[in-house]
Amino acid sequence: MKEINKQLAQQIVDFGKKMFRAGLVAGTGGNISIRVPGENAFLISPSGMPYEEITADDIVMLDMEGNQIGGKRRPSVEKNMHRMILKARPEFNAVIHTHSIYASAYASLRKPLPVFLDIMSCVFGGPVECAEYARIGSDELAINAEKAMRGTNVAFLANHGCIGAGENLEQAYANVELLELCCKIYLAACSAGIPIPISEDDIRLTREEFAAKYGQRD
Ligand SMILES: [Zn+2]
């Protein structure tokens, strides 16, 4: 068994608590992974442990074929979903799966969320797709989730929840947090009418300008 990078493992512990305290998951639901730099491997949260009790020693390391190469706990049952995404998307170094309320509600509709807010153009760059239904922890769910996330950084899991990825854990977290907010706003808007989607041209232009101008530069 390989030695686990304590600093990376601690990031999973910290974001697990953050996700739990923010109400994005209940109980032991959801899971988090981070790519291990310089190694063909990733770290992932353990299966079925309360977030307030997990320490860096409970984090598990797997290689990209899915073999456990570090840690003493059993890995999350959704390990293959994380592995498939990290394998297919080298631009992502972290993946988070949550059961947040509004995203899960929307995921039960099994349909994409159109780009109806400008912030979705900036961050997601297009509609959020829903992965075809497959049972929890199945290889099929892993395949469907990776497929649904192509072209963006988040996806719904039908009748289950959502998943998001990012360059780092902060970004992956921000993406699932934003998706939850968008679903909440969409469902609120639906009580007064049907939200109007933003045109594809405006989505593209907003995204380009956002990438060039937003935030602080050195
Ligand atoms: Zn789940």
Residue 158 belongs to a domain with what CATH number? Answer: 3.40.225.10
Q: How many CB atoms lie within 10 A of CB 9?
A: 25
Nearby residues of 112 by Cβ (< 8 Å), 6 or more positions away: 127, 128, 129, 130
pTM score, two decimals?
0.96
CA of 162 relative to ligand 1 center, distance in Å: 8
Distance, CA of 28 to CA of 190 (rounded, Å): 31
CA of 17 relative to ligand 1 center, distance in Å: 16
CA of 137 relative to ligand 1 center, distance in Å: 8
What would the pLDDT profile of 82-105 be if each residue is shown by its tens digit? 999 999 999 999 999 999 999 999
Could you tell me if residue 153 is inside a domain? yes
CA of 189 relative to ligand 1 center, distance in Å: 27
CA of 184 relative to ligand 1 center, distance in Å: 19
Q: Select from 51, 55, 43 the least CA-distant residue to 3.
A: 43
Distance, CA of 190 to CA of 110 (rounded, Å): 16
Extended beta strands in 5-160, E state: 31-36, 41-44, 60-63, 68-70, 94-98, 130-131, 154-157
What would the pLDDT profile of 135-144 be if each residue is shown by its tens digit? 999 999 999 9
pLDDT of residue 218: 67
Residues known to be catalytic: 78
CA of 70 relative to ligand 1 center, distance in Å: 23
Q: Select from 53, 57, 73 the least CA-distant residue to 9.
A: 57
| Cβ–Cβ < 8 Å for 69, 75 | no
Q: Both tokens of residue 50?
A: 């309360």
Report the share of the chain in percent with pLDDT over 70.
100
Could you tell me if residue 184 is inside a domain? yes
- The DSSP line for 124-138 is TSSPBPEEPP--TT-
Report the share of the chain in percent with pLDDT over 90.
96
Could you tell me if residue 46 is inside a domain? yes
Q: pLDDT band at 217, cuts 50/70/90?
A: confident
Could you tell me if residue 79 is inside a domain? yes
For residue 66, pLDDT beyond 90? yes
Could you tell me if residue 218 is inside a domain? no
Q: Is the dihedral of CA 191, 194, 200, 206 positive or negative?
A: negative
Q: pLDDT band at 198, cuts 50/70/90?
A: very high
Could you tell me if residue 49 is inside a domain? yes
- Structural domain total, the chain: 1
What would the pLDDT profile of 99-126 be if each residue is shown by its tens digit? 999 999 999 999 999 999 999 999 999 9
Burial class (CB in 10 A: 0-12, 13-18, 19+), 65: exposed
Looking only at the bridges linking them, the beta strands covering 154-157 and 130-131 are parallel
What is the spatial order of strands in the sheet that 154-157 belongs to?
A: 68-70, 60-63, 41-44, 31-36, 94-98, 161-166, 154-157, 130-131
Could you tell me if residue 125 is inside a domain? yes
Could you tell me if residue 128 is inside a domain? yes
CA of 29 relative to ligand 1 center, distance in Å: 6
Q: Which domain holds residue 98?
A: 6-213
